[in-house]
Chains A and B, each alone.
Chain A
Amino acid sequence: MPSIYINIILAFTISLLGILTYRSHLISSCLLCLEGIIISLFIISTLTTLNIHFSLADIIPIALLMFAACEAAVGLALLILSISNTYGLDHIHNLNLLQCKK
């Protein structure tokens, strides 16, 4: 396996860690790191396809990018929803409608 995949798999893992931890903002914790995951998956599938010269599998990165664009658009729309309905900022501690029952 080509040794350049180390860094790209590492980039995927770093983005995954970025999703699993959170700080104050919703957009930087969820949406941007999700875009990072999509980029790293795109790069891995493109490099594999180009490496083994399997031209028909070039469809896979393009279809992946297309569905990721859909998902990012819906995610941003939900972000705008959470901004305009709560307090004008997308802090995560504003999503507090669901509380534990005492």
Chain B
Amino acid sequence: MTYVLFTLSVLLVMGFVGFSSKPSPIYGGLALIVSGVVGCMIILNYGGAYLGLVMFLIYLGGMMVVFGYTAAMAIEEYPETWGSGFEVFGCFLVGLMMEVGLVLWVLEFDEVVVVVSLNDMGNWVVFEGEGLELVRGDSIGAGALYDYGRWLVVVAGWTLFVGVYIVIEITRGN
């Protein structure tokens, strides 16, 4: 239970390997949804209730639905999955073996020295206890978007409008 967050991050990497080994887009979208769910759970474990919900609703609920419909338009008759052919399966297996090696390294040495020394056990061990906690730190910060960041809201709104207009002009075609 202490290492639940590390396990979740391992599952995140496995999901990324799953769509980065390039199966057909439908299965890639499935792996991206799984990665998004695992990422949301990582954020929730840090106490970011609002940001995890943002990712779930807007990212998975909005963008992945759009991706699913577009991938259904771009589909071919026999989509290739992870079990068909050697290339996709080989890439997936190589990625998994790399991640297993990394897990063994971290469990053995407790630190990884790449450019900096990543060894801080700081905040991601889960302290189990009883009682209720009220998590509101990050929703207050995100609400500051409309107070301190009101010019960002204006710019973002204009960007979204221009983006929608571009999409309409592209799909009109002629």
Query: Chain A, interface size: which category?
Result: 35 or more
Over the window 34-76 of chain A, the binary record of Cβ atoms lying under 8 Å from chain B Cβ atoms (1 yes, 0 no) is 0110011011001101110111111101110111011011101
Q: Write out the residue numbers on chain B whose beta carbons fall within 8 Å of the beta carbon of A74.
A: 163, 166-167, 170
Over the window 138-154 of chain B, the binary record of Cβ atoms lying under 8 Å from chain A Cβ atoms (1 yes, 0 no) is 10111011001100100
Say yes or no for A80: interface residue by CB 8 A criterion: yes
Say yes or no for A98: interface residue by CB 8 A criterion: no
Over the window 1-19 of chain B, the binary record of Cβ atoms lying under 8 Å from chain A Cβ atoms (1 yes, 0 no) is 0000110011011001101
Q: Are A49 and B138 neighbours in the complex by a CB distance under 8 Å?
A: yes
Say yes or no for A97: interface residue by CB 8 A criterion: no
Knowing A4-B9, A31-B67, say if A50 contacts B145 (CB, 8 Å): no
Q: Are B118 and A51 neighbours in the complex by a CB distance under 8 Å?
A: no
Q: Write out the residue numbers on chain B whose beta carbons fall within 8 Å of the beta carbon of A85.
A: 173
Q: Are A2 and B47 neighbours in the complex by a CB distance under 8 Å?
A: no
Knowing A2-B124, A84-B173, say if A79 contacts B74 (CB, 8 Å): yes
A-binding residues in B (CB < 8 A): 5-6, 9-10, 12-13, 16-17, 19-25, 28-29, 32, 35-36, 39, 42-43, 46-48, 50-51, 54-55, 58-59, 62-63, 66-67, 70-71, 73-74, 76, 87, 95, 99, 102, 106, 110-112, 114, 116-124, 137-138, 140-142, 144-145, 148-149, 152, 156, 159-160, 163-164, 166-167, 170-171, 173
